[in-house]
Structure 1
Amino acid sequence: MSTQATAEAITDRTPLLKSRLGSFLAVVPLSIWVINHLWDNLSAFYGATAWEKSVTEYANPFAQAFTFIIVMLPLLIHTAWGLVRIFTMKPNNLAYNNYGNLKYIVQRVAGLGVLAFLGAHIWLAFLQPRLMEGHAEPFMDIAREMHYHGPTLMVYLLGTLGTAYHLANGLQTFGMGWGILASDRSMRRFEPISILIFLILLAMSWGAIYALYTAGAAYGPAGMDVG
């Protein structure tokens, strides 16, 4: 193969490699972290001490920084990759109005919503308390916000809905991009699995929100215990 042919082959494969890298960074580290984060937040059913131990405390002083790097670097790369795809996409829903095209559009719209939600969540629940106040977010604060501040509750309900859909549908896209789901039949067979994953993630998310909401009843709007 000539040098020119080799260069052309590499150029042709570059978009595929970028797409696979973007989907890999979304599915592998981020999906594992999301599932683990949701599981930890379900400890809100057992009260403030259990939640703070699971969500905000780290046994190793380096674990917090390591976790942040493992999450943030793939998230930033996937975000950049996703934004490029959003602004270069050419939807053909008017020409081909089918279920697959609808999912394509919803996935991109959900991605923008998830980006805004995660940015706000990471800043308000992780960075701001630690950088501005010098401590992790207390259970009382987030529980009170969930119970007494309607916009916060709505943002978390919609944000976790979008996250659950984006991740579950992204698994199917990952399978297609990596050749795991290489036929229409395999994609149709995976569809119920994708829906089940979406429902499980949504149940975990809204379960944690419900636990925080009910716990917030014990605190007044100003953060004072009213029980």
Structure 2
Amino acid sequence: MASTIEAERPVGAGERHGQRSAAGARPVRAGVVAGTFLGSKLASLLGLLPVGVWTVNHLWDNLAALRGGAAWERAVTEHSSPATQAVTLAVVLVPLLLHSGWGLARLPRTRVPRHVGRFASLRHGLHRLSALGLLLFLGAHLWLALIRPRLLEGGPEPFEHLAHQMRFHLPTLIVYVLGVLGTAYHLANGLQAVGVGWGLRFGRGTMSRLSLTSGAAFVVLLAMGWTAVWALWRAGGG
């Protein structure tokens, strides 16, 4: 949930180790600042690696719905062994939890600087909104597609059940349509957000190209996700 624009106040010369600011603020220790800096950069990077990579792969796997239920179940719900499944979940869910916790903790503190344009301000606001929506979507998705079927029902979610829900249960269809939209935007916008958050210096031309790359990634991810949703919806009617 890295923000597109970071507006936290930097530590000034008068707030170094053992000193106080003119306003009488508490001293900021160099070790704490360094730890916070590194922790923030690591947490933002986790949104792309490995969570972002896995998300792209998951969207791609769901396109198997175009080839029918058996192909979808092989691509999405089958694993070579329980150990492989456990390792995959650990590699994805642990970074996801760390990234989500970091994002929620800093969400009230990030602001849009007044000097930025309206488009950048809009992107920042949408990034934060998509982060909150994603938390709700992921919670529901993990429960319905992973936890409940595997732990309570003894097996993966059947293709026929999901397809039927997509076709005949409007709230399910709406949740997936909006969830894919939020996922595509948050991940695509995060490409630029991570670069800015890491303090990389970009020229105007580079920023323009990065914005175009982010926009193209959004279109591709959205097309993949909505195509899979459409394939599931179509299968539910057959």
Do residues 56 (structure 1) and 77 (structure 2) align?
yes
2:7 — aligned with what?
none
- Find the partner of 2:156 among 124, 131, 136: 136
Post-superposition shift, 1:58?
0.6
Post-superposition shift, 1:16?
2.3
- Find the partner of 1:115 among 135, 157, 161: 135
- Find the partner of 1:151 among 171, 184, 202: 171
Post-superposition shift, 1:4?
5.9
- Find the partner of 1:190 among 201, 204, 210: 210
- Report the residue type matching 1:140 in the other structure: E
Alpha-carbon distance in 2 for matches of 1:92, 1:179: 16
User: Deviation string for 1:17-43 (max 9, x for gaps)?
Assistant: 122111111111111110111111100
What's the TM-score, normalizing by structure 2? 0.84
Alpha-carbon distance in 2 for matches of 1:130, 1:90: 41
Q: SS at 1:58's partner residue?
A: coil
CA contact (8 A) 1:129 1:137 kept: yes
Do residues 36 (structure 1) and 57 (structure 2) align?
yes
Flag the structure with higher helix content: 1
1:210 — aligned with what?
230
Closer, same or farther: CA 173–114 of 1 in aligned 2, 3 Å: same
Alpha-carbon distance in 2 for matches of 1:27, 1:119: 19
Between 34-43 and 18-27, report the one with greater CA deviation.
18-27
- Report the residue type matching 2:225 in the other structure: S
Q: Give the number of equivalent residue pairs.
A: 215
Where in structure 2 are there 5+ consecutive unaligned residues? 1-16, 20-27
- Report the residue type matching 1:195 in the other structure: G
Q: SS at 1:57's partner residue?
A: coil
2:87 — aligned with what?
66
Q: SS at 1:62's partner residue?
A: helix
Do residues 88 (structure 1) and 103 (structure 2) align?
no
- Report the residue type matching 2:54 in the other structure: W
- Find the partner of 2:187 among 148, 151, 167: 167
1:12 — aligned with what?
33
1:221 — aligned with what?
none
Alpha-carbon distance in 2 for matches of 1:183, 1:173: 15
Closer, same or farther: CA 31–16 of 1 in aligned 2, 3 Å: same
RMSD: 2.1
Post-superposition shift, 1:91?
4.1
Closer, same or farther: CA 207–106 of 1 in aligned 2, 3 Å: same
Between 75-84 and 182-191, report the one with greater CA deviation.
182-191
Q: SS at 2:202's partner residue?
A: coil
CA contact (8 A) 1:181 1:187 kept: no
CA contact (8 A) 1:169 1:194 kept: yes
Post-superposition shift, 1:13?
2.8
Q: Which runs of 4+ in 1 moved over 4 A?
A: none
User: Deviation string for 1:46-96 (max 9, x for gaps)?
Assistant: 111111111111112211111111111011100100101212223456x86
> Larger RCO: Structure 1 or Structure 2 (Cα < 8 Å, ≥ 6 residues apart)?
2
Between 72-81 and 82-91, report the one with greater CA deviation.
82-91
Closer, same or farther: CA 126–180 of 1 in aligned 2, 3 Å: same
- Report the identity percentage: 45
Q: SS at 1:28's partner residue?
A: coil
Post-superposition shift, 1:179?
4.1
Do residues 199 (structure 1) and 219 (structure 2) align?
yes
